[in-house]
C-alpha cells in the first residue's frame, strides 16, 4: 500500500510523524519503504539517525533517478546503518525498514512524461516488494504532489491501493491551509480529478493528522493560571468548529499526535525506551503513533466496508 504524506506548510510534523509511522509498522512485522520525495529538503535520514544521508545522498538519489541519471535509486537499510542507540540491531519480529533518500542539496523540479514513467516504475516495484510504502512529499501544492497524483492515476497503477495523509498543526492558519491543500481549486481533489481520478474514491483516500496538539487538561499545562486554562479550552473548541467548517473535522481525522516536548527540540523516532527507560518522552505520544500506524490499513477508518 502507498501512503502519501502531505502538508500545505512546513513545520507541521509531517516528516517526523510519517517516519515514526513507518518505524511502528516495521516493528509490527511489515516490510516498509520510506521514500523521500521532499525534493527541496531531503532530510528524512536525520529522523532515522542515518549520518551518511542527513542532507540527502551524493550518489543515486531519487531526484537523479527521476531525471534518468541513474537506473536505480540508492537504498539505505535503516536497521543496519542507523546510529540510533535502540535501533542498531534488527528488532525481533520486525520487518525491513528501508530508506530511499533524496539527492544532496535537493531542489524542486518540473517533471515530464519520462520522469512520470520512472516514478510509476519505482512505485510498482516497491509495491511488489514492501507492505507499506510511505512517500514523504514536499510541502504545499508542489511538483512532488502533482507527480504523486499523476502516478496514482496512471493505467499501470489501477490495482495499487493508495492513501493520503495530510498533516497540520492545531492552529487557525494550519487548519485553513490544510483544508485548502485538499479542497480548494488547485488542491489535491481537483488536481486528482483533472488527472483521471474518481472524485469519490480520492476523497475516501484522504485523511488528516493533527500534530503537536496541546491538551488543555494535561499535566503539561497544569501549572498555568485558571485564566490561561479557560483561554486554551476556548481556543480548542473554536478550532474544532473551524475544522468542521473547512471539511477537515473529526470524521476525516485519522489521528491526533499530542504536543511532545522532545520533538520540539529534536526530530526523532519515539521508542519504548524513550517512554519506559529514560522517560524523556510521553506515553501518550507513543500510543498515538502506534494507533495511527494501525489505522493506516484499517478500512473502517477510511469509510470502506
Q: Which residues pair with 5 in a beta bridge?
A: 136, 165
Contact 26, 95 (CB under 8 A): yes
At 265-298, the pLDDT tens digits run: 999 999 999 999 999 999 999 999 999 999 999 9
Residue 290: which residues within 8 A CB-CB, separation 6 or more?
24
At 151-162, the pLDDT tens digits run: 999 999 999 999
**pLDDT, position 229:** 80
Mean pLDDT along residues 136-147: 93
CA distances from 48 to 53, 189, 260 (A): 10, 31, 18
Coil, strand, or helix at residue 304?
coil
What is the SS3 assignment for 99-112? EECCECCCCCCCCC
Q: What is the pTM of this model?
A: 0.95
Amino acid at each position: 500500500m502507498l501512503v502519501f504524506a502531505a502538508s500545505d506548510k512546513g513545520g507541521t510534523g509531517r516528516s517526523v510523524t510519517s517516519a515514526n509511522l513507518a518505524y511502528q509498522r516495521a516493528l509490527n512485522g511489515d516490510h516498509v519503504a520510506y521514500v523521500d520525495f521532499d525534493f527541496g529538503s531531503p532530510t528524512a535520514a536525520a529522523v532515522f539517525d542515518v549520518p551518511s544521508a542527513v542532507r540527502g545522498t551524493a550518489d543515486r538519489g531519487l531526484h537523479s533517478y527521476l531525471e534518468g541519471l541513474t537506473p536505480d535509486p540508492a537504498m539505505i537499510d535503516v536497521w543496519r546503518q542507523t546510529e540510533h542507540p535502540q535501533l542498531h540491531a534488527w528488532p525481533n519480529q520486525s520487518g525491513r525498514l528501508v530508506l530511499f533518500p533524496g539527492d544532496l542539496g535537493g531542489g524542486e523540479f518540473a517533471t515530464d512524461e519520462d520522469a512520470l514513467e520512472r516514478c510509476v516504475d519505482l512505485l510498482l516495484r516497491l509495491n511488489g516488494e514492501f507492505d507499506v510504502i510511505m512517500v514523504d512529499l514536499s510541502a504545499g501544492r508542489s511538483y512532488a504532489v502533482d507527480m504523486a497524483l499523476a502516478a496514482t492515476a496512471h493505467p499501470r497503477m489501477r490495482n495499487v491501493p493508495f492513501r493520503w495523509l495530510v498533516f497540520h498543526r492545531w492552529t487557525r492558519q494550519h487548519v485553513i491551509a490544510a483544508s485548502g491543500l485538499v479542497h480548494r481549486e488547485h488542491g489535491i481533489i481537483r488536481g486528482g480529478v483533472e488527472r483521471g481520478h474518481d472524485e469519490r474514491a480520492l476523497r475516501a483516500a484522504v485523511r488528516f493528522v493533527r500534530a503537536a496538539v496541546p491538551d488543555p487538561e494535561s499535566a503539561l499545562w497544569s501549572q498555568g493560571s485558571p485564566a490561561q486554562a479557560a483561554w486554551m479550552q476556548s481556543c480548542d473548541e473554536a478550532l474544532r468548529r473551524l475544522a468542521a467548517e473547512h471539511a477537515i473535522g473529526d470524521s476525516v481525522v485519522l489521528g491526533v499526535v499530542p504536543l511532545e516536548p522532545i520533538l520540539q527540540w529534536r526530530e526523532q523516532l519515539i521508542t519504548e525506551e524513550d517512554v519506559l527507560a529514560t522517560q524523556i518522552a510521553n506515553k501518550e505520544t507513543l500510543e498515538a503513533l502506534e494507533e495511527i500506524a494501525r489505522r493506516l490499513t484499517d478500512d473502517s477508518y477510511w469509510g470502506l466496508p
